Amino acid sequence: MDLIVGIEQNKPEEEILGSILSEIKEKTVVINYQDKVEEYVRSSKPSVVLIAIDPNEKEHLDYVRRLKTHPITRDIPVIALLQKDKVDQNFTLVFKRMGFQDYIVKPLKKVTLESKINDALSSLKDIKPKSSRYVEIERKNKKSIFSFNSHLTRHVLPELKTLLTPPFLKSIQTDFVAIDLRNVPDLPMEEAMILEKLLALFGQKKISLIAGKHMGVLIASTNIQDKAEIFMSMAEFDTYVEKQSEP
């Protein structure tokens, strides 16, 4: 399931956007500029970002510019949400150069939001994955992160079996181990169930899952939460590790 993140400027607008998005089929999260927006978007890797902006506010445009230049988030479609009096002829001519795929004029309507989101999701199918490996491993600060970059059954499982040798498993036995699923393109029910087999490759060690947009299907289709800690974002996992490491 795709994750849609909405970013609003204040609490009333945040509640309005959240109410409308709650009616669409995708998983949605709405935050505001007061939250740690950049950190959350980078760690959760949403499929689409909806962001309320004022084209005259340099802070808003600078954030979008950082979002579209950072290697983790640059391919995420960004849709601007604007008040009617903030949309002038200049914006309609240059919004794509500013980093936006599209824009929506308030007041927001479900049918318009859903249509724009679907168009953005369709555009993602044309983006080829940048990684040439199906499993990438990063070890630092007593954490071992396994990033999966393709379909589990076809690509990840065969490669993972070759990586998890007895000496390697022994070397990470004291690490906090997490599997990052955010780059997995799709996770149907049968693929989600494969995760239980993947976890078994690690033996008795408790594994954490960074689920991102796949959180819903994992909880609804499997009992994997009985065998693993599940987090939406990498930031949530890092917080968990910090608390577990406290004396």
* pLDDT score at 60: 85
Least confident of 15-19, 52-56, 112-116, 197-201: 197-201
* pLDDT score at 176: 92
Q: Domain with 86 in it: what CATH number? A: 3.40.50.2300
Looking at the fold, whether 20 and 116 belong to one and the same domain comes out as yes
* pLDDT score at 113: 94
Burial 97-134 (b: 16+ CB within 10 A, else e): ebbbbbbbebebeeeebbebbeebeeeeeeeeeeeeeb
pLDDT at position 215 over 50: yes
* pLDDT score at 21: 93
Q: What is the mean pLDDT of residues 44-65?
A: 87
- Give whole-number Cα distances, 138 to 40, 41, 93, 177, in Å: 20, 20, 42, 10
* pLDDT score at 153: 85
Residue 215 maps to a domain: yes
CB 90 within 8 A of CB 117: no
Q: How many domains does the chain have?
A: 2
pLDDT: which is higher, 151 or 204: 151
State which of 89, 124, 159 marks the end of a domain: 124
To the nearest whole number, what is the mean pLDDT of the chain?
Answer: 85
pLDDT: which is higher, 83 or 226: 83
Residue 129 maps to a domain: no
pLDDT at position 101 over 80: yes
Domain extent, residue 29, equals 3-124
Q: What is the mean pLDDT of residues 117-130?
A: 69
Looking at the fold, whether 7 and 113 belong to one and the same domain comes out as yes
pLDDT at position 128 over 50: no
Looking at the fold, whether 110 and 159 belong to one and the same domain comes out as no
Residue 130 maps to a domain: no
Dmax (CA) for the chain in angstroms is 63
Looking at the fold, whether 208 and 183 belong to one and the same domain comes out as yes
Residue 63 maps to a domain: yes
pLDDT at position 58 over 90: no
Q: What is the mean pLDDT of residues 209-231?
A: 86
* pLDDT score at 125: 62
Looking at the fold, whether 14 and 120 belong to one and the same domain comes out as yes
Instruction: Give the range with max mean pLDDT: 30-39, 118-127, 192-201.
Output: 192-201
State which of 124, 150, 176 marks the end of a domain: 124
* pLDDT score at 107: 93
Q: What is the mean pLDDT of residues 37-59?
A: 86
* pLDDT score at 93: 75
| C-alpha dihedral, 130 to 154 to 231 to 61, nearest 10° | 20
Looking at the fold, whether 24 and 45 belong to one and the same domain comes out as yes
pLDDT at position 111 over 50: yes
Least confident of 15-19, 62-66, 72-76, 177-181: 72-76
| 126 — pLDDT class (breaks 50, 70, 90) | low
| 141 — pLDDT class (breaks 50, 70, 90) | confident
pLDDT at position 117 over 90: yes
CB 116 within 8 A of CB 104: yes
